[in-house]
Structure 1
Amino acid sequence: MIIDRLYGEVKNKGNVCVGLDTCLDYVPDNMMDRNASVEDILFEFNKRVIDATIDIVPCYKVQIAFYEAYGLKGMSAYKKTLEYIRNNGSIVIADIKRGDISSTAQMYAKAHFEGDFESDIITLNPYMGFDSIIPYLDYVEKKDKGLFILLRTSNGGAKDIQYLNVNGNEKLYNHVGDKLKEIALKYMGRCGYSSIGAVVGGTHLEEAEEIRNRLDNMFFLIPGYGAQGGKGSDVAHYLKNGNGGVVNSSRGIITAYKKYEDGIEKFDEYIRKAALNMKEDISSGSKVL
């Protein structure tokens, strides 16, 4: 199962998920060939990042919006990036956050679990209702695919909806989590986690222990590290014995070279260094717990 693969990769390589939220503003001048297409520039940048980190990180998260913004050439770069990651033996999470139902959801599932844009795991938004998840489950069961479903996110606006009280004094995100856990139990891997996991922002330390204990069988995709304020000692609370989750960082890794005067010349070195530093930060935080 995909979750067993991911669990094993985390065990061997740590918890860092490199976010390829790539735009032209992030590309160093020496990669901005005037004769090259947007497709080639974006893909070459991603390829350099992947080559510099693939032996030290378990997976990559590719945010589709950054490629949609560049039209057909951007989506071609997206396709090439997904293929490059998977063909080199790593795991790709397509961050698409779809949330529709019925035949529309069926087509989203087909689009992102088959064909040009095939990925291993996708992100979904369940707040339209749990029937928005059903069309994807056949791929989880029969095609070895996985889902990360939004639960409690790291943005300030999360409190507008996710923190509303339901069933007395229970937070909505806890109600959603309980329902997702019921679904997840049907797709358990040998590692003790389900191929249906949750997106849980790592910036609310006061809630970490409750969420981790309540959703003990669910693997977490944890945003919020670095630029959004999360530290290794914070996100470590969402892990179990150093596993059970991957922690995403995008700008903190893919623009790391900009911090150094010789960053362009040593682009690959500084990208790798940023990933290793993050890996150590999370590992140190886990050891303290």
Structure 2
Amino acid sequence: MKILLTGGTGFIGKELLKHLTTHEVVLLTRSTDMAKRAVNHADLGNVTYISHLNDMHHLNDFDAVINLAGEPIADKRWNAEQKQEICESRWKITEQLVSLTHASTTPPSVFISGSAVGYYGDQQQHPFDESLHVHSDNFTHHVCAKWEEIANRARSESTRVCILRTGVVLGCDGGALAKMLLPYKFGVGGPIGNGRQYMPWIHKLDMVRAIVYLLETEHAHGEFNVCAPHPVTNRHFSGTLARTLKRPHFLFTPKWTIKAIMGESSVLLLDSIRAKPKKLTELGFRFSYSRLEPALKNLLQHHE
């Protein structure tokens, strides 16, 4: 396949490239020099780098689009400027890709685009799957709902669209787990708030395996919860992490402290999202790490 990839230098994208070495990849990036250094580990001569789409008038030469671009949602406090950057970094590139798809006489056969379980917002203790439809004014829902709506415009008789409603991707070289490790290693890790909020996690390997599975499964389409089949509470997650690291687990961070530090973005830690990957499992995808403890043991063993 010839694949147009955005977000290839990100946490997920860099891992995904390791699994696309048999394909021809065109990587869209703001800095080609930085990108070449960032993905040197996965570039076996099959990656071409471009810095913009302005010279493209169609996507006739591409078999697939994988769109993972977007400003990291948890790296900064959500002021008005940051919210705008989070939205526009996702929506604008997706609109460009959809326009190029529509301008194609032989468009890509599959358009895979990012989203997140933040689409659902706080669902408390209730388990749910992709059939849950949400209407909310919350920022995370707003970002994801419009992102998905734009991506779905690429759908046609020639192009199937797969939406990745991604959970918390676990890896030691980035994402949430990398940020958690330091306090736990110093013995000051613990639950956040009351710890009863559900956390839909996924091992980084399963994340990229799922993307490749959707890429290669010709009848796959629609929205997919890309998270392990056994979400856990924050208390369970923090206890398992502490036990795996052989560290104490008795401190906790009060809800008001998280809100004071993070402001509105505290919902990323406090919302309870008990999402199930029903469509992925029914499609036949098998997780390498469906349970949390083996996933953490694998990641931390390699990290150490």
Say whether the fold is shared (TM-score over 0.5). Answer: no
Q: TM-score, normalised by structure 1?
A: 0.34
Q: TM-score, normalised by structure 2?
A: 0.33
